[in-house]
Structure 1
Amino acid sequence: MQQDIIETDTRHLHRALIVDDHPLFCDALALTLRAVAGVRVVETAGSLGAALDRLKRDPHADVVVLDLDLPDVDGLDGLLRLRAALPGIPVLVVSSMSGDHLVSAALSAGAAGFVPKHSGREAFRTAFDALRAGRIYAPDGYDPVQAASDPASDVVGRLAQLTRQQTRILDLICHGMLNKQIAHELSIAETTVKAHVTAIMRKLGVQSRTQAVLIAQQVRFSAIDPQG
């Protein structure tokens, strides 16, 4: 299933970075992308941290293919951090979990598409064709009407509005740091931290730091497990 996005952008998508901690899957996916998706250069990273380090050194990847189940992230946190750090690079989520609630939440978080891991080669061909045409790709059978009723998508959409710095500050707040400690950690003025915290709460629609933390935790757990 393909959905229109606001801006159409023709992309070459010749260079891909696969972020997944299963080497055999990475090898198989790399072969698939070369064979059917027109990708010429494929690199891999086994964690989000490794991927961010790699992209910081060389931000010229055309597309990131991201697994949500990584050793250094919880739930959709990795996707949100990646999108905040590198908003210009499309992210295609490839996950073993593929319920409508998760697909909807991932797209709300800024994913350019979602392909279940059990999909055949044709799904990857279609997904990359959609991305090249500036369209969002969702898997066959995805019901956006049903997914729209999922509150996790609204929460993720609000978190996706945060800038890279605001995302980092919210993460530090979740680790229990005070403004003074955050200022020291990020080498910025405490007044700057306060301004960011105010902006974070406004974007999330909350009135306190505690509520902001609860929002972040909801995305990390409820988006993956709707019963959590």
Structure 2
Amino acid sequence: MRTDTRPITVAVVNDYELVVAGVNEILKPYADRIKVIELDVNTAVSQPVDIVLFDTFGCYDGMAGVAESVARRWLPGRIVLYTWELNPAAEAVARAAKVDGAVSKGLGGAELVEALEAVHSGEGFVFRDNEPGDADDEQANGNLRHSHDWPGRAAGLSMREAEMISLICQGLSNAQIAQHAYLSPNSVKSYIRSAYRKMGVSTRAQAVAWGIQAGLLPEVGRTAV
């Protein structure tokens, strides 16, 4: 149990402005416990924070690369990966990368805050998955559990589908995407086919052009809050 009553300071980091803004909205109701002091888009955090919460959406490097990059560039007190990519293989990679936690985007706001508090208290590696179920099915039905946002959402792309297109825009092959996202090649193909239907495209070149227009290439910038 925490004896320090000050809010835990957090920097939310990702390469997409919509993504970090969405995470900030999720945490706003818990400002007495978690204080988001920076929203960082592919830039270094400019002030000390207790935790860097790194959203892995559209990240090229994969979990181990993300952890190494965050540790080198931001030097936070603790690092937490925020991702859909939670399964035994992903957990093993996160542990090996020596981050302080990996938490699911399927968690509600209160559960996310509890996970961050557990990380801050030094309980060791914190792994918090959501309840079993297909998060993309929830998104497709409009039953989002909280206020995530991402490029391509307005066109009907689920977060998983949008991430596939963002990685295509960054030049990854289907095999590389599968390795990055801890998915089978068939699952990757299924997400891409579904995304193409919603986008109204049929070729990879068309998908790249659509993705660039929709903001699915990484951005650069930072907003202090």
TM normalised by structure 2 equals 0.49
TM normalised by structure 1 equals 0.49
Of Structure 1 and Structure 2, the greater strand share is in 2
Larger Rg: 1
Of Structure 1 and Structure 2, the greater helix share is in 1
